[in-house]
Amino acid sequence: MNKIMLIISIALLFQAIGVSGFSFDDSSENKFSCPNIEYDMVIISTPAYKDSIQPLIDHKISIGIETFFITTDEIFLECEGRDKPEQIKYFIKQVIEEYAIDYVLLIGSFDDIPGRYTHVYFDEPFDYPTPDEWVFTSDFYFADIYDSNGNFSSWDSNENDVFAEYHWNGNTDEIDLVPDVYLGRLACVNEIQVQTCVNKIIQYETDKSWSQNWFTNLVLIAGDGIPFDPESIDESEYLQEQIIDIMDGFIPNCVWASNGRLNNAYNINDAIEDGAGFVFFNGHGLHDLWATYLHNRNTMVPPGSYRTSHINQLTNIDTLPIVISDACYHLQYDMYPDCFGWSFVSNPNGGAIAFIGGSDTDLAYGGTRIVEKGIEKLDLKMCMLYQDGVSHLGNLWGMSIVDYQPVENDIVDLLTIIQNHLFGDPSLQIADNSQPPMKPNPPMGPSEGKIKAEHNFTVITTDPENDELYYLFDWGDDSLSEWIGPFNSGTEYTGSHTWDTQGTFMVKVKAKDIYGMQSPWSDPLSVSMPKYKSFLDIESNNFIVWSHHYFPFLVFLFDIIKT
C-alpha cells in the first residue's frame, strides 16, 4: 500500500510541475531546484521528443526507477560550460551531487546532443595501418565526471581547449578513465525512432525477457581475427571459447569461420532469429559492416560482409538480444546516423535491445594475448559480472570498465575505454534477484550402456521460493540438452540421450528458475559405453579359422551381418 501511495503521489506531483519535475531558480546560485525526491535516472533530450519519452518515464517510475526529464534547451540556457558537451557534463555533475543519480540516458543524435571529440596521436609500436592522428567522438566523457582527486574532470587539464589529448602536439590530458555514473544513449534521429526504442524497452522489461527460455541462448560470431599470427590461432574464436566457459548455463550457438557457418551472412540472422540473451561479434568492422578472416588466409567472410542491410531484415521483436562488439567503428554515430550498432537498436521489427561497442579503432594483441587488454578484455569482464549477478545493463557496462582497472595509460587502454559506448537504456533490467534453485542431485540412471541406444536419466531439485524450474543436461560428450521445462519445484524429470562413440562420460545437470536464476551443476554420474564383444565378433576364435576352410560362404554372411 505504501508503494502504491508513493507512486500516486509522484504522479500527482508530475502533473503539478510538468514532465521533468525539474525547474529553474534564478535567485539561487544553484539554478536548478527540484522537489524533495530521490531520483535514480535522468533522461536528457530535445523538447521535440518530450511527449514520446513520457511513456518511458511512467514505466520506469512504475517499476521503481525514479526518473525525471530535462531538455537540452534548458541545460544550454542555464548551465555553465564553454560549449554544449561541457554544459551537459556540469548538469550531470550537479544531479549526481544533489540527487545521487545512478543512470543518465541521452536520447538524440549527435546534432541534438553532441559528444566530446578526442585527440589521439598514434605513435605506439603497433604494426597497424592507420593515420597518425585520430579524432573521434566519446560519450564516456559524460560518465567520467570526476578526476582521481574528486574534482570536475574537464578532459582538458592543460586548459588549451583541445580535449582528451594523448601525445597530441606533445600534450596529454589527465583522464582517470573511471566512470562516475552509468550512461547510455539512444541515438534517435526522429520521433519514430524514439517511439520504437521506448516501446522496445517497455516490452522487454514487461515481458521479463531475461527470464524467458530463449534468453539463455548465446550467439557467437567470429573467425581468425589476426591471420598469420605466430601462434596460428583464430583469435576471435579463442576469445569466444573463453566467453562460453564463463557464461556457464548458456547454450552456445557458434557462427564461426572454422565451422563453415560464415559462408553466408544470413546464417547470422538465422542464429539471432532463434533468440538469444547475448550476441557477440568479434572481428573487424566499419560503420556499416562486420567481417572476419578464414584461418591464416586473407579471405574475409561472410562473402560480401554482414551489413546494416542484413540487420534491417531482422524480425526478432520478441527475442531482443544485447549485442556486444569488439569490431572497429560500429558506433560511429556522429558521422553515420544509421551506423551498424544503431541499426540494431533502432530496428522497429527486431534487432537488439542494446548495443555495446566502439566509435573508432579497436586495438588488440594477436594470439592468445588477445584477452589481456582492449575491448576483448571488457567482453570477458562483462560476462563475469553478469554471472556474478549484475542485474542492470548500465552497471554491466560501467562496472566492467572499473574491473578493467588498473590501466597502464597506454594507447590500448585509453582507446578501449574512451571510445566504448552503450547504446541503450542504462537502467534496463537484465536479470532478477530471486534466489537460485538448490544444487540438483546427481542424475539417476545406468552407469553403463551400449552406443546408439537410448538411455534415461532422472533428475530432481527444489527451489527455495518454490518457483517452477527448468533443467539442462551436460552429457559429457561436448553436447548439451536444451533447457527443458518448466516443472514444479521438487518434481522429477527424466531425460534421455544416445551416445555414438565408446568411452566414459560425466553426465551432470543444472536447474534454473522461471526468473533465470541458475543453480550450480550437480555432481556428475559416470556413464561408460564400453566396447562389448558380441558373439559375431569372433575373428580371434579358432572357429573362424576353421570355418574359413570349410564354410567360406558362412564367413561371408557373418561379415555382411557385422557391417
pLDDT band at 546 (very low <50, low <70, confident <90, very high): very low
Q: What is the total count of domains within the chain?
A: 3
Is 61 part of any domain? no
User: Are 414 and 500 contained in the same domain?
Assistant: no
What's the rounded mean pLDDT across residues 137-143? Answer: 98
Domain assignment present for residue 316? The answer is yes
Buried b (16+ CB within 10 A) or exposed e, 187-225: bbbeeebbbbbbebbbebbeeebbbbbbbbbbbbbbbbb
User: Do 206 and 293 belong together in one domain?
Assistant: yes
Query: Is there a single domain that holds both residue 465 and residue 414?
Result: no
Kindly tell me the number of DSSP H helices and DSSP E strands found in the chain: 14, 24
In a shared domain, residues 354 and 485: no
Q: What is the pLDDT of residue 364?
A: 86
If asked whether residues 392 and 459 sit together in one domain, one would say no
In a domain? residue 105: no
Residue 194 lies in a domain: yes
Q: What is the DSSP string of 282-313?
A: -SEEETTEEEEE-TTSS-EEEEEEEEHHHHTT
Residues 415, 460, single domain; the answer is no
Q: CB-side exposure of 378: number of CA atoms within 13 Å?
A: 33
Chain mean position to CA 505: 32
CA pair distance 556, 13, nearest whole angstrom: 93
Side chain identity, residue 435:
Q
- How far is residue 414's CA from residue 405's CA, in Å, rounded to a whole number? 11
List pLDDT tens digits, range 48-79: 999 999 999 999 999 999 999 999 999 999 99
Residue 550 lies in a domain: yes
- Where is average pLDDT lowest: 267-271, 308-312, 542-546, 552-556? 542-546
Q: How far apart are CA 482 and CA 465, in angstroms?
A: 24
At residue 528, φ and ψ (nearest 5 deg) are: -105, 140
**Residues 416 and 313 both lie in one domain:** yes
- Tens-place pLDDT, residues 245-292: 999 999 999 999 999 999 999 999 999 999 999 999 999 999 999 999
Q: Which of 20, 56, 343, 61 is nearest to 188 (CA)?
A: 343
Examine the domain organization and report whether 548 and 518 are in the same domain.
Answer: no
Tell me the residue range of the domain where 554 lies.
533-563
Considering the domain architecture, whether residues 233 and 344 belong to the same structural domain is answered as: yes
pLDDT digits over 358-367, tens only? 999 888 888 9
Residues 493 and 354 in one domain: no
Q: For residues 86 and 89, give the distance between their C-alpha atoms in angstroms, rounded to a whole number.
A: 5
Is 447 within a domain? no
529 pLDDT band, cuts 50/70/90, is very high
User: Does residue 463 belong to any structural domain of this protein?
Assistant: yes
Antiparallel, parallel or unpaired: β 322-325 and 300-307: unpaired
- Domain end marker among 383, 402, 423: 423
- Whether residue 399 sits in one domain with residue 543: no
- Checking if the pLDDT of 556 tops 90, the result is no
Residue 488: inside a domain, yes or no?
A: yes
Residue 521 sits in the same domain as residue 563 = no
Q: What is the pLDDT of residues 376-400, one digit of tens each?
A: 999 999 999 999 999 999 999 999 9
CATH of the domain at 336: 3.40.50.1460
Record the pTM.
Answer: 0.87
Q: What percent of the chain has pLDDT over 90?
A: 82
